[in-house]
Structure 1
């Protein structure tokens, strides 16, 4: 039997909440490796027939579990710790916990208005060919043939595709009119992801979870990464990470982008979820 005793860290956060740079900073520690891309296609393995990105513990299967573990092991490269972040995981934390009951979870939240503003800028932006090629090299051939073609086609078509969405595919998006304002679509998507995270947070044992916010990290990176590394392993050398690229230049960026009307419209959708984030963070 293969050894899967390595320790897994899952960074859970909505799209454009800082998951990529925070993952990279954590993985700059010499004892932590990372999965360098979102791997939605792996998490969905065996469940491609299900619409959207939501998975529950009912979707668990031991063969699927083995497949996911074997894939993740490719990135461990001898290190005991491996960090992974896929934004679709915001809507399936209990499923991940079922697959990795010993894992640790870092729940990352960012001001909803800033996150939504950033997603809107990405919504109709086609990924670069270099990015798609590099990511494709990490996808198993069987999945690439089944999943990759539709993935690439959807993004290349962009908003010309009636079923287009950017980021996490959540049920509430399907209930909106095609003509609904983009900020409403993105706010609805963000709210679903955050509400799923908040609900799942209570289901993870205390010692296996921590909450961080993007705002605290960009304001006090030294303190916040010390907190994160201590959570992962209190014996880690906390000086061996590089957070020089962390900056607060994007904090509050929505203020120079959104109109007063847009801010009011979005705030009305997300206010309850934003309040709950404040309560746990």
Structure 2
């Protein structure tokens, strides 16, 4: 069976979950029954020091393993489109494109200051057992000991950290430990957003235009029917209007500006100075 792989690319807290859930609520579109599959993407590169995995590390064995995971989802759900969403992929789009060469990309982006205000909460979140158990099912067995130790350390670190944060969360940048030592947690979240956006855009600028559709989060939540219709047309999926309307019934703009408000004017000004170049490029500053 021929199917279309569709990879959602976006920084953390930029609407990637929302978009995936809306798409997979439609018949014929499926995904993994967990939040992200970074464990699968990193198989064979589990000890690589960041999520910025270069394309030349996509060996034939790694490509075959990840492609089979896509095929398993396609077969299990008889899907026309298999949607994948892992935020760390925004740091390694060329690697993803080598692994899944037939993929189409939905690049969703959001005001980086709003995203930062939301991401900080995840760095300091409490233990979520059901969430962990969902993801553990998709950890390659040979990688389980490594991730078990990392997860235990992350939780221990949260107990002893002055900021009460995890040892790591979200896409791992090159030089992540130095970044954590040199910047506040808000600044780290803003830099994660910036690197995810900049590296994704750099990769997409070298691809054919028909490989990627760009989606502004603020436009999607304000006009979800039109934006979802545009995405489905890009993916080559015909869906009746009433089903599109039903799929976006719960989409709301109520989170717009929430992160900025939570951070306060002084901190917003500090972050705008730090990642202002990228904010300006996307008309957020």
TM-score normalised by structure 1 residue count: 0.91
Tell me the distance in 1 between the aligned counterparts of 2:11 and 2:114.
Answer: 12
1:26 aligns with 2:31: no
Among 253, 257, 262, the residue aligned to 2:258:
253
Separation in structure 2 between the aligned mates of residue 144 and residue 245 of structure 1, nearest angstrom: 36
Secondary structure, in 3 states, of the residue corresponding to 2:94?
A: helix
The answer to which of 259-268 and 159-168 deviates more is 159-168
Where does residue 40 of structure 2 map in the other structure?
A: 42
Structure 1 equivalent of residue 59 of structure 2: 61
1:147-204, Cα deviation, whole Å (9 max, x unpaired): 3442354245337369822211102533336263221111122111111111111122
| SS of match in other structure, 2:36 | coil
Shift of the alpha carbon at 1:265?
A: 0.6
* 1:225-244 correspondence runs (5 A): 225-233=228-236, 235-241=238-244, 242-244=247-249
| Among 210, 214, 219, the residue aligned to 2:213 | 210
Q: Which has the higher helix share?
A: 2
Whether contact under 8 Å (2:52, 2:92) holds in the other structure is yes
Aligned length: 276
Which range is displaced more, 119-128 or 220-229?
119-128
**C-alpha separation in 1, matches of 2:264 and 2:231:** 36
Shift of 1:244: 1.5
Distance in 2 between residues matched to 1:177 and 1:131, nearest whole Å: 25
Aligned mates of 1:52, 1:219 — CA distance in 2:
35
1:17 maps onto 2:20 in alignment:
no
**Residue pair 2:124, 2:166 contacting (<8 A) in 1 also:** no
Question: How far apart in 2 are the matches of 1:255 and 1:86?
Answer: 24
**SS of equivalent residue, structure 1 residue 257:** helix
Q: Is 1:172–1:192's contact at 8 Å kept on the other side of the alignment? A: no
2:68 aligned partner: 70
Q: Unpaired runs of 5+ in structure 2?
A: none
Query: What is the root-mean-square deviation in Å for CA atoms of aligned residues?
Result: 2.1
Q: CA 1:46–1:138 in 2, change beyond 3 Å: closer, same or farther? A: closer
Q: Does residue 271 of the first structure (1) align with residue 276 of the second (2)? A: yes
Give the alignment of 1:1-281 within 5 angstroms. Answer: 5-35=2-32, 36-76=34-74, 77-155=77-155, 157-158=157-158, 160=160, 164-176=167-179, 178=181, 180-233=183-236, 235-241=238-244, 242-278=247-283
Preserved CA contact (<8 Å) 1:19 1:85: yes
Q: What TM-score, normalized by structure 2, do the two folds share?
A: 0.89
Q: Is the 8 A contact 1:57 1:98 kept in 2?
A: yes
